[in-house]
Amino acid sequence: MAAEPVSLFTAVADPAAVLDALREAAAHAAGEGAGEVVVDVGPDGVGWRSATVPSTGGPGDRFPLRLTHDPGYYAEPDWSAQLRGLVAYFGRFPRHDGTAAVLEALGAMRSAYGIGLACQLNLDVAAADDPRLAVLYALAARVDGVLFTPSALRDRKGRVLIGATPMHPNAVVPGTRLRPAPPAPAPEPVMEPIVEPAPAPDPEPIIEPEPEPEPASPLAAVVDLRAPGPPPRRVALRALALAAVCGRAFLEQDDPEEVDQEGERQRIERWAVEVQGLDDELEPDEWRLLQAGIEMIEERASVDAAWRVEGLAVLAWALGRVDLPAYDALADTDALNAAVGFLDVEASTDLVAHATLVGEDRIRAAHEQARAVYWRLREHRLQPGPIDFLTTAADSLLGRFDVSWCRFVGDDLAINVDGEDYAIDDADPDTVDQVQSVAYERYLATTWLLQGGTYTTTQVSP
């Protein structure tokens, strides 16, 4: 495909933060040969209007890459109207399973930056063939952005999200990877895990739907309400899979003088084989994690695996085995393991054989409530500061949020720190980061309960 004009859209509203991210991206992607990013300030001497990554002078050099910035472009009241227009524009492209989540993420963007046609960027070529793409993709990853062209909406690495072709199987919807690491330290990375991509979905024919009334809540825009959720037996097996993954990750944090780590690892692996059906539920990368020797897990994989315990809390609740913890409270790992029969073949087999789920209306309500909490925490991470969350929840661009699960200090979300509630902007930052990880995992789990599919590729939208 020929070169097209490209725009970067991001939920980061601070242009200074985007400029800092560009400098980091240029230094990281262009290497030592890259010069200092050249910045042109605005006419009033405040802010910036363009930033240019200069030539490296190396092989295959096609620099410069110029990013333009006009704060008036994303100023209200016109910005919301522009976003609605973009959502409508891409809504006319062939739809797929991820379309709703992509369009909702697009509606959450807060600023935009241009890369002119003069740069002659072609997002269909490999980044190795055009070093400027490496800089652009590194920037998009740092600000969790999407790339807009007239022909397609693409993710942070130029992979198609919505276009004439189906969504790329590895494409990342904005908002699905912004979460901090848990407070517990992880070992130095030794082995890089292999993640197998999910198969590409078949393209669906364009069908003009009959007009439907706008839903009272944004739930329908995130999850296909027509898609059947997983049956009770599958939920029970997925809960056991998460218990195995968490148990293996937590072994990395045990004291080798007190725990036979390798012996316990082998015990988890044997249990996973002996529980009928669990070996099929475990995904390839989960199996590799269970089979990896102690201190042979890459740090990021260990971090992600440990946080799965919060998804286990949701599935155990859906199976009627535990109460759902408060949105800002960590799950009780020991209680969850006992509830699902972790490492007890007889108990876990009984869980699968007699699995039942709470009512679908309760699962949908939990999904809406988890979404509201996750949105506020993510929004605070991107744009620190207080907001009137009560008013926003009642009337926002993304629809109404169900905040019935939330506690408030003033008009903003409350976070409990050492037994006392604080407004999110006044709470301990480390605690807020921890609660955001909790919220992400629980939102992901409730989404999976409604739509099924492969658990680790379930995509959530802000």
| Model confidence pLDDT, tens digit, residues 162-217 | 988 889 988 888 875 433 334 444 444 455 555 555 555 555 544 444 444 433 33
- Pick from 198, 162, 168, 177: which is nearest to 87 by CA? 162
Boundaries of every domain in the chain: 6-163, 232-322+333-353, 360-457
Q: Specify the long-range contacts of residues 404-409, CB closer than 8 Å, at least 24 apart.
A: 404/369, 405/327, 405/369, 405/370, 405/372, 405/373, 406/327, 406/369, 406/372, 406/373, 406/376
Question: How sure is the predictor about 367, in pLDDT bands with cuts at 50, 70 and 90?
Answer: very high
Question: How sure is the predictor about 87, in pLDDT bands with cuts at 50, 70 and 90?
Answer: confident
For residues 389-395, give the mean pLDDT: 83
- Whether cis (ω within 30° of 0) applies to the bond prior to 166 is no
pLDDT reading at 254 higher than 70:
yes
Question: How sure is the predictor about 226, in pLDDT bands with cuts at 50, 70 and 90?
Answer: very low
Question: How sure is the predictor about 154, in pLDDT bands with cuts at 50, 70 and 90?
Answer: very high
pLDDT of residue 202: 54
Residue 420 belongs to what H/E stretch? Answer: strand 420-423
Torsion sign across C-alpha atoms 157, 162, 166, 170: positive
Q: Are 299 and 186 in contact (CB under 8 A)?
A: yes
Q: Are 423 and 410 in contact (CB under 8 A)?
A: yes
Q: How far apart are CA 166 and CA 68, in angstroms?
A: 30
3-state secondary structure of 144: coil
Residue 435 belongs to what H/E stretch? Answer: helix 429-451
Q: Residue 358: which region, alpha, beta or left (left: phi > 0; alpha: psi -120 to 50)?
A: beta
3-state secondary structure of 169: coil
Report the range of poorest mean pLDDT among 49-63, 71-85, 139-153, 235-249. 49-63
Gyration radius of the chain's alpha carbons: 23
First CA to last CA distance, the chain: 31
3-state secondary structure of 128: helix
Q: What is the DSSP letter of 174?
A: T
Report the range of poorest mean pLDDT among 214-218, 271-275, 404-408. 214-218
Q: Residue 15: which region, alpha, beta or left (left: phi > 0; alpha: psi -120 to 50)?
A: alpha
Task: Supply the DSSP string of 272-311, one letter for each residue.
Answer: HHHSTTHHHHS-HHHHHHHHSPTT-S-HHHHHHHHHTHHH
Length of the chain: 462
pLDDT reading at 270 higher than 80:
yes
Q: Are 434 and 212 in contact (CB under 8 A)?
A: no
More confident residue, 328 or 67: 328
Tokens at 279, concatenated: 């070996």
3-state secondary structure of 266: helix
Cross-sheet strand order for the sheet of 146-149: 38-41, 48-53, 65-68, 111-115, 6-10, 146-149, 152-154, 160-163
The mean predicted confidence, pLDDT, of the chain is 83
Q: How far apart are CA 236 and CA 318, in angstroms?
A: 9
Q: What is the DSSP letter of 422?
A: E
pLDDT of residue 462: 60
For residues 47-55, give the mean pLDDT: 82
Bridging pattern class, strands 412-417 and 6-10: unpaired
- Pick from 167, 225, 247: which is nearest to 199 by CA? 167
pLDDT of residue 210: 44
Kindly report the pTM of this predicted structure: 0.58
